[in-house]
Amino acid sequence: MLAVAVAAGALIAVAPVPWSSTLDGATAAGQRWTEPSSTGVFSDLVVQGTLTGGGIGCHAVWTRFTYDLFPAPPSKVAQVCGAGTAPVSLRVSYRPTTTGSITVCRGTENVQNCAAWQSITSWPVRTTA
């Protein structure tokens, strides 16, 4: 089975793909996939998961996207303080030229102290044997 299919010019993920990021004991993890957009042109990228705090201080999940070579500023998706949990839920317009990443950061105000950014727009390819 292929992880990504092309339908009417839109990329559609056949199966969800896991993602995760960890910093200071705080962990964000979940799945991502694409769906046809409501306009029927291109697709939507859907990212779902949970942020679990590391017990001390606050942490946040941030994303950053580049659309047609134009980078958008980072955007906070979820935050938690202490050992709590928070849902991570995101839906964005997705085109073949869109790239995006996700990370967990210490604090909730900026992306100055973060885990390595993880791609949420690269897709596994499975070849048939």
Q: How far apart are CA 1 and CA 14, in angstroms?
A: 8
Stretches in the chain below the pLDDT threshold 70: 1-14, 126-129
Its CATH class, for the domain covering 17-119, is mainly beta
Q: How far apart are CA 80 and CA 94, in angstroms?
A: 27
Query: For position 3, what pLDDT does the model report?
Result: 43
Query: For position 7, what pLDDT does the model report?
Result: 46
